[in-house]
Chains A and B, each alone.
Chain A
């Protein structure tokens, strides 16, 4: 479901699946862990496919930020195209707090 892409120049992208909630947390955490072992400069969470996110998904994004901060890696949210996903991310002010591309 999830996919990690090496975009070059120390940038890694994790392409999220259709749903982003507690049911994928294990898979997601593993992808993050793997990506961080490569000492990335920048980690992109690609929301292009995400149609549903809940508070667990939000929690996972927050957790990822904490870990990226520890590794001195920038975190970016990209391609938030679904209006409902955008609404939720807006509500929790993630679109302000995070760099969005």
Chain B
């Protein structure tokens, strides 16, 4: 894991361009590396062993030990940040911040620590050419033997924090005075003030020669990246299980010579199962005939354990008969290679299966994280809907009883509904259906939830509310995105209701006394398409009587294809309700519609379904 480079070809350059390239190139792969010059070799190695650089807690991402001369470079620090990003330490949005901080602290460690320039800088800062003189001093010192002195950088990740430790080989510096000096208008000490302003915590120890800071960052979850052949060799882990040492060594030798770095051997099935747990291979080569536990049984055990069932198993066996091959595949192996094997064949198959295995593993991780996040978002979305307590309260105070159903067709929905108690004898009800479903539509439901609160003063008047809502949505929504809506305000004392429709399906008014069902048109121009002083909205009013029911729904109720190949339309819904209201029965209208719909609808649904019934007591 540790690579040692000799970088002493030329000590005279301010920045070793060539070595910097080498350093940057190696940042891509290994987790730790050291660069060491002839002058610097001894102190570097000593430093590595020194107790002054305790290992960081958390998941270790990177350790770099390099000469000051090499690290005093923006280019190298930029590459260092990219390496931390590539290892998942930070996400893209945090990279510039980390780069700035690392730049400040590494330069601080070099200039104040290893090159001992603090006093020089203090003195210099009183004269107007101090900066020119100071940088000249830095350049000279970097080119002297002092430029060989090392910096150790350790990066780890623990929870939501990135932990960084920068340790220099100097005698420390007066960081306390420098911290007191933090004054942004003073050209001196600004590096530390930037550090203090940008990190969560920082602490100097060893008289200032050791700095530990933490930065709260998101991890790099930006992209799923398919593994490459290069990364397979760099990171792929192979377990070779064979009771014959010579066979095991031969396979390991072939794999090593092809560039695979992490290979482990096991001598039988029992040993293999123990090693799998610890070594976590990406692929397993499994012999069949082995003492203690044979290959078939081992494979069976691996496939029965959810932790190991996805690791590709490749049988390597002297048994050539078709029966054993078939048995191997039946047990879940991905391949079967007969012994004696050809080097090229073994490598070709390894390459294919390890890449597939790694891709599968990353996809599993990716999808697990994604579904975990979606689940959280789904929970959040449910919190936007009216709470049970609110509905129970409205039932008491306004004599209105609600029944409702909300079924997202994906993890997240583009439907939204809400009830607002406006005053002691008015309530408002809103049902909004955004185009599409999934994440984007769900975000829009959050927007509309916020907008209703913002437009609280207009809740009383459908016309004002809809005009403002439409204008706000027109500015907020992405091009081509819109929402259909029905908005109703009910006077719960008189039963008078005003409503506004914008492209929503008609709602149903069930009159229990006369056993009739009326449809109320809610067509109109959908919200969010264009701002207007007078949006094209259907306004209407009606009066409902005690025991009447109003039924509102999103279009999934009338546009879902049923098992007979047909959809319900608004007329068939009306017919269901009419039949129901004429026949005295125990189930509520809501329950009847719900049951009848799901009895024949093709599920899973292809659109979000919202169904609300309001019964006036």
* Residues of A that sit less than 8 Å from B by CB: 19, 21-23, 25-26, 29, 52-56, 58-60, 62-63, 66-67, 84, 87-88, 91-94, 97
B97 close to A62 (CB less than 8 A): no
Residue B395 at the A interface, CB < 8 A? no
* Residues of B that sit less than 8 Å from A by CB: 74, 96-97, 99-100, 103-104, 107, 128, 131-132, 135, 138, 184-185, 187, 190-191, 193-194, 197-198
A71, chain B: closest CB distance, angstroms: 12
A59 close to B132 (CB less than 8 A): no
Given A26-B132, A63-B131, A67-B128; A92-B184 close (CB under 8 Å): yes
B104 close to A54 (CB less than 8 A): yes
The count of A-to-B residue pairs whose CB atoms sit within 8 angstroms is 63
- Chain A CB within 10 Å, residue with most, of B96, B99, B104: B96
Contact of A66 (CB < 8 Å), options: B96, B128, B184, B191: B128
Secondary structure dominating the interface of A: helix
The complex places the Cα of A19 from the Cα of B77 at a distance, in Å, of: 13
The complex places the Cα of A91 from the Cα of B187 at a distance, in Å, of: 14
The complex places the Cα of A83 from the Cα of B602 at a distance, in Å, of: 50
B128 close to A84 (CB less than 8 A): no
Q: Which residues of B contact A92 (CB under 8 A)?
A: 184, 190, 193-194
Name the CB-closest residue of B to A96: B184
Q: Which residues of A contact B193 (CB under 8 A)?
A: 92
Given A52-B99, A66-B128, 12 extra CB contacts under 8 A: A23-B74, A25-B132, A26-B135, A54-B74, A54-B104, A54-B107, A54-B194, A58-B190, A62-B187, A88-B194, A91-B197, A97-B185
Q: Which residues of A contact B187 (CB under 8 A)?
A: 58-59, 62-63
The complex places the Cα of A10 from the Cα of B131 at a distance, in Å, of: 27
Given A59-B190, A84-B96; A25-B184 close (CB under 8 Å): no
The complex places the Cα of A91 from the Cα of B194 at a distance, in Å, of: 7
Given A54-B104, A66-B128, A67-B128; A25-B135 close (CB under 8 Å): yes
B184 close to A84 (CB less than 8 A): no
The complex places the Cα of A84 from the Cα of B103 at a distance, in Å, of: 14
Name the CB-closest residue of B to A61: B187
Given A63-B131, A67-B128; A55-B190 close (CB under 8 Å): yes
Given A63-B187, A97-B185; A55-B194 close (CB under 8 Å): yes
Name the CB-closest residue of B to A90: B197
The complex places the Cα of A23 from the Cα of B73 at a distance, in Å, of: 9
A84 close to B104 (CB less than 8 A): no
- The 5 listed contacts between A and B (C-beta, < 8 Å) are A54-B100, A55-B194, A84-B100, A88-B100, A93-B185
The complex places the Cα of A22 from the Cα of B97 at a distance, in Å, of: 18
B132 close to A29 (CB less than 8 A): yes
